[in-house]
A and B are shown apart, each in its own frame.
Chain A
Amino acid sequence: MRQPQPSTRSCWPRARSMRSYAPAVSWILVAPAIAILAIGFLYPLLRLIMLSLSAGPSATYGRLLREPLYATVLASSIVTAVSVTFACIVLGYPVALAMARLRKRAAALTTACVLIPLWTSVLIRSYAWIVLLQRNGLINSLLIAEGLTQGPIKLLYTQGAVILAMTHVLLPFAILPIFSILRAVPNDYVRAAHSLGAGKVKAFFLVTLPLSLPGVFAGAILCFVLALGFYITPALVGGPESMMMASLIGQQTTVLLDWPFAAALSTVLLAITLLIVVAFRKSLSFSKGLSSVY
């Protein structure tokens, strides 16, 4: 008698639960990481907080509150980080979608285009923007040659330049998580949507996009956290009015040598970053369905 062959059913890739290991094994496995974190991160962090309090809280945290400059810089840093994150997601999503849908060779090519800038130094990419944006740079020369402007316009050392250059640097961090999620979403969902009567646009907005949101959020958090602490790019292409927290901290440490105050600024930046990330994650748990899929 012919028996039906048991077919090999591959499941949707899903993170395996670690519960199958004995607790002792788990602890041994994470011990090195914990040790490195403790020595290289937690201990310095503790020292940082102690340092910020060493001159008395009113001299550091009090000053932070008293002088409006610091709140202004903090606010503008957050605005910049949010703008950059937004731009990265809006520009990155279509790229990720194309990468996920293209055939082999074209996909490899786009992936290379995304990854090669990532492997290039941030310093080089920031200088490249200076070359492009400066008074007699490529863009201004072009504008003047075309007769679109009379004289060179100020592009460099503006908030816009900071957002542009940072978006360029951080774009891969938005693209890659979205891409990997889009790749993992089985084709059957889109097909199911089509068979149920959803056209291409509806299938995208009702199925593909919601299913890829975890990737969007991962990319957004990554971009936001990196952008908030960005140092080199804003320092090179930004002006005084687009100063970011990281530059301010750098100034206090290396120029003014006010280490307790620099420590206080760092602590506040860290706390705010954590707060925003946690708030973001909370607002994310909107869908039970999604969280159980990934």
Chain B
Amino acid sequence: MIGQALTLSRLRKSYGDIVAVNQTDLEIEAGEFVSIVGPSGSGKTSLLTLIAGFEPPSSGAIRIGDKDITYLPPYLRDIGMVFQKYALFPHLTVRQNIAFPLKMRRRAAKSTIAKRVEDMLELVQLPQYGDRYPSQLSGGQQQRVAVARALVFDPPVILMDEPLGALDKKLREAMQIEIKRIQERLGATVIYVTHDQEEALTLSDRVAVMHHGSLQQIGTPAELYRRPSCAFVADFIGAMNFVPGILVGREDGKHVIQVAEGIVLKATGGGRLAIPSKGSAVCLAIRPEHIRLAPRENNAAGMLAGTVEASIFVGPTQILLIRPEALPDVVLRVQMPADQIAGLERGALVAVAFDEAMLQAFPARESLAA
């Protein structure tokens, strides 16, 4: 186990008026795999830049283990980094690239370095490519070399900035498994930046969501999915339906929300932000799989009448887009097993019901996620 804990406290970075990273606190355990997701420009790369030490923070502190590294130059930090465009040295062979960090440290004898490089090539499954130049490798192979180079000197912390961004879907998935396998074997602490929330959910022990330079929430994939702390996270992680409404009261610790004339729903208060007072605008959030459908004739009390607008095939499940009659501005996304949608073609009249236990309410103003 070579991983070490990483702690960011009140870390902040601004470029003039632009706040790239805003008062960020983050504690990552040794050996943990944490992903950072967020829309473009949310400050993910800036955060890694600070941790790697390429730029000094405006304020705050960074610690690895119990050592403060906030103002340590990058070459003394022992942090492995995989760059978005790999940044393999084009004038060095694969072998020389991987040996580079070992030679810089002068820790080992020549023969030990050679042995270590061969082991690393074996680990990333490129043993016969050692003498090639980076430009003679495919994107996926370059990526693996970049990973090998960042890992070879046993850094306690590894940063990866969208390392799979340039690869096609198939290769991406293969590389995800490979990265996870290597990380688990070496026990390194990894911070992994990605645009792709699915990738983050697959790989990570915990996922951090960034927006406008701030960490919105950090938690296990299941936590983020089930208990998003704000409408932004609810929207960003997985698919989510939002229904606007007005808070009309409280009952049994639940919010009573009117979404249309005569339609009232009960929801738990989602996240850390308190729902404002009675009469204020809120939005209800519900996952596609928590909406039930019934044929129109079985319309029971509490169900909304609607029309199927589209039916989208996505493999084992089918996605239906439904416009409720009472809520003409809302299109609900419903996901169900493909074998249960018989007769629900476009234009079919249906009734929908929300699983009220899964309904969450958020203040309306922040629901406008990017």
Q: How many residues of B contact A (CB 8 A)?
A: 46
Q: Are B92 and A289 in contact (CB under 8 A)?
A: yes
With A194-B54, A197-B101, A197-B105 as contacts: A292 and B133 at CB distance below 8 Å: yes
For window 263-294 of A, CB contacts with B under 8 Å fall at: 287-290, 292-293
A-B contact number at CB 8 A: 107
- Per-position 1/0 for B58-93, Cβ under 8 A of A: 000000000000000111111111011101011111
Q: Is A289 touching B333 in the complex (CB atoms < 8 A)?
A: no
Residues from 35 to 63 in B contacting A, C-beta threshold 8 Å: 39-40, 52-54
- The reply to whether A191 and B166 contact each other, CB–CB distance below 8 Å, is no
B363 at the interface (CB under 8 A from A): no
How far is the CB of A156 from the nearest CB of chain B, in Å?
Answer: 44
Chain A nearest CB: distance from B156 CB in Å? 13
Tell whether B239 is near chain A: CB-to-CB under 8 Å. yes
Which residue of chain B has the shortest Cβ distance to A202 in the bound complex? B104
Q: Smallest Cβ distance from B171 to chain A, in angstroms? A: 16
Cβ–Cβ contact A192 & B197, under 8 A = no
Query: Residue of B at shortest CB range from A290?
Result: B91
The answer to whether the Cβ of B354 comes within 8 Å of any Cβ in the partner chain is no
**B325 nearest CB across to chain A (Å):** 24
State the Cβ distance, B284 to closest chain A Cβ, in Å.
18
Question: Of A7, A9, A186, A293, which contacts B135 at CB under 8 A?
Answer: A293
Interface residues of A in 1-46 (CB under 8 A from B): 1-2, 4-5, 7, 9, 12
Interface residue total, chain A, C-beta cutoff 8 A: 31
- Is the beta-carbon distance between A197 and B104 smaller than 8 angstroms? yes
- A189→B97 CA distance, assembly (Å): 12
Which residues 135-165 of A have a CB within 8 angstroms of B?
none
Given A196-B101, A199-B75, CB of A289 within 8 Å of CB of B239:
no
Given contacts A1-B333, A2-B236, contact A188 B195 (CB under 8 A): no
A40 CB to nearest B CB, Å:
38
A191 and B87 contact, Cβ closer than 8 Å, known pairs A196-B153, A293-B135: yes
In the bound complex, do residue B91 and residue A210 qualify as a contact, i.e. CB atoms below 8 Å apart? Answer: yes
Tell me whether B347 is interfacial, beta carbon within 8 Å: no
Chain A residues with CB under 8 Å of B197's CB are 2, 4
Q: How far is the CB of B219 from chain A (nearest CB, A)?
A: 18
Q: Chain B residues near A197: list those with CB within 8 A.
A: 75-76, 78, 101, 104-105, 153
Q: Is B149's CB within 8 Å of the partner chain A? A: yes
Interface string of B184-197 (1 = CB under 8 A from A): 00000000000111
Cα A150 to Cα B92 in complex, Å, equals: 56
Contact A289 B133 (CB under 8 A): yes
Does B165 count as interface, using CB distance less than 8 angstroms? yes
Tell me the residues in window 92-106 of chain B with beta carbons closer than 8 Å to chain A beta carbons. 92-93, 100-101, 104-105
Cα distance, A198 to B238, chains bound together (Å): 41
Q: A9-B166, A198-B104 are in contact. Are A4 and B196 (CB under 8 A)?
A: yes
On whether the beta carbons of B74 and A195 are closer than 8 Å, the reply is yes
Contact of A192 among B89, B93, B165 (CB under 8 A): B89
Given A4, A5, A191, which contacts B54 in the complex, CB threshold below 8 Å? A191
A51 at the interface (CB under 8 A from B): no
Answer whether residue A82 sits at the interface, using C-beta atoms and an 8 A cutoff.
Answer: no
Q: A residues within 8 Å of B by Cβ?
A: 1-2, 4-5, 7, 9, 12, 186, 188-189, 191-199, 202-203, 206-207, 210-211, 287-290, 292-293
Q: List 10 A-B contacts (CB under 8 A).
A: A7-B162, A12-B85, A186-B87, A194-B74, A195-B54, A196-B100, A199-B75, A288-B133, A289-B92, A289-B133
Q: A191-B87, A289-B89 given. 14 additional CB < 8 A pairs? A: A2-B236, A5-B39, A5-B195, A12-B85, A192-B83, A192-B87, A192-B89, A193-B75, A195-B74, A197-B104, A198-B75, A289-B133, A290-B91, A293-B90
Show the binding face of B for A, using Cβ within 8 Å.
39-40, 52-54, 73-81, 83-85, 87, 89-93, 100-101, 104-105, 133-136, 149-150, 153, 162, 165-166, 195-198, 235-236, 238-239, 333
User: When A and B form their complex, which 5 residue pairs have the shortest distance between CB atoms, in order from nearest?
Assistant: A197-B104, A289-B133, A1-B239, A292-B135, A196-B101
